[in-house]
Amino acid sequence: MKNLKSCCLNDKFSHVYVEERALSYPLTDKILDRFEKSEKIIIKHYKDVFCRPHQDFQLQKASQKLILAVKEDNFLYKGADLCQSFGNSNFYYTSTVLNCIYNCDYCYLQGMYPSAYITAFVNIDDFFDDVSSKLEKGPLYLTISYDTDLLSLETLLPFTSMWLDYAAKNPGLTLEVRTKSSNFKSVSHIESISNVVLAWTLSPQCIIDKHEAPSPSLESRLKSIAAAIDAGWNVRLCFDPVIMTDNWQTVYEDFISRVFSVLPYNKINDVSIGSFRMSCDYLKRIRKQRNDSALIFYPFECKDGIARYPAQIEKSLLDNMVSLVSEYIEKERIFL
């Protein structure tokens, strides 16, 4: 795919598809200003492009396009059982952007979405209105970066800063922004907000090289986290998914030791740990499309519609991680 990219494929975002009704939103203009050189194609509905049959997710990843659209309904979704709520009740997630700039082997998005094109919903005020109406009934825990990596896109799509601005005005909301990026600088001008958690997903460098291309290196993520901590932000570390690899015990031991030699562990809010898990349907779909990832073809066990490592292996992976992390973080702040 690399050769193909250099010889024949368009650069990322060579084309921007814009829904007719999205044209009237100021955010659309703001975003389009950042894509001056891109070819603009006006479309009726984002699904006319996003939901075409037989699309090749991996090929599209190599030449991703952007779609600007208006979301009509279902602005918030109830938090899924596979995701951690960190002890919060009233757990919801939302997707102002679909798809991610990275291409991790273990990512469920490749099995969930028919297209790899990044789709951004420009009617963010409708999302805010929905959150506000829920906040009238009580506090809300909301994650905004599950089906994408919002912070990595901030320079192109300024959604993180808009959400941060909204959270600052709504103390009843606890907002989690999850990322693998080293792009804290794009929001570093904003003062830390007490009801926002910046959550970084971290993996050993060998896992990043093998399975998380083209995401930032461990060291650059750590640098970004250290800067966020320095600026007073609440920081969560997510060691998720823990991946079975050669010499995994040593790999993860060295990794955890490196993480906490760089980061002040007493300033970490909490930690989440999880091993690989994915809907069996998504895994099946991904296996049909790819033959370039050893991880995806691991003989996972499918139980209750979820593919995961065999129970014994999963237990060893998680127990090992909890024991490594608990040397630095109290067990009450480690979530599985």
Partner 1 sequence: MILITTALFHEAKPLIEYFNLIKAPSSTRFDLYSNGEIYLVISGVGLLKSVVATTWLIAHTPKSTSKTAFNIGICGSFSDKYEVGTLVIANKITCHELKRTYYPDMLIRHNFVEAAVNTFLSPADKGEAGLAYEGFADMEAAGFMEAALNFLPPHNIFCLKVVSDYLEPESVSRDLVLKLIARNIVNFEYLFDIGKKINKSFTDVFSSQDYEMLDSISNNLKFTVSLKHQLVKIARQYKNRKGNLDIMAPFCNVAVKSKNEGKIVFEKLKELLLK
Binding positions for partner 1, 151-210, rule CB under 8 A: none
Binding residue for partner 1, selected from 20, 48, 209, 230, defined by CB under 8 A: 48
Q: Which residue has the tokens 């009740």?
A: 89
Does the protein bind partner 1 through residue 43 (CB under 8 A)?
yes
Give the CA-trace dihedral at 56, 61, 64, 67, to 10 degrees: 60
Cβ distance to partner 1 smaller for residue 1 or 262: 1
Instruction: Report the nearest approach of partner 1 to the CB of residue 59 (Å).
Output: 6
AA identity, residue 270:
D
Strand, helix or coil for residue 48: helix
Stretch that binds partner 1, among 8-16, 156-164, 201-209, 232-240 (CB under 8 A): 8-16
Stretch that binds partner 1, among 39-47, 120-128, 201-209, 267-275 (CB under 8 A): 39-47
**C-beta neighbour count of 336 within 10 angstroms:** 12
Cβ distance to partner 1 smaller for residue 2 or 189: 2
Print the binding letters for residues 268-307 with partner 1: x by CB under 8 A, - otherwise.
Answer: -------------------x---xxxx-xxxx--------
Cβ distance to partner 1 smaller for residue 51 or 336: 51
Binding positions for partner 1, 131-150, rule CB under 8 A: none
Instruction: Report the nearest approach of partner 1 to the CB of residue 89 (Å).
Output: 40
AA identity, residue 325:
V
DSSP line for 34-72:
GGTTSEEEEES-THHHHT-TT--HHHHHHT--EEEE---
Binding positions for partner 1, 51-70, rule CB under 8 A: 52-56, 59-60, 62-63, 65
Instruction: Report the nearest approach of partner 1 to the CB of residue 58 (Å).
Output: 9
- Cα 212 to its chain centre, rounded Å, is 12
Does the protein bind partner 1 through residue 41 (CB under 8 A)?
yes
CB 94 within 8 A of CB 134: no
How many Å is the Cα radius of gyration of the chain? 20
Query: 196-218 burial string, b = 16+ CB within 10 Å, else e?
Result: bbbbbbbbbebbbebbbeebbeb
309: exposed, middle or buried (Cβ count in 10 Å: 0-12, 13-18, 19+): buried
Binding positions for partner 1, rule: CB under 8 A: 1, 3-4, 7-11, 14-15, 17, 39, 41-44, 48-49, 52-56, 59-60, 62-63, 65, 287, 291-294, 296-299
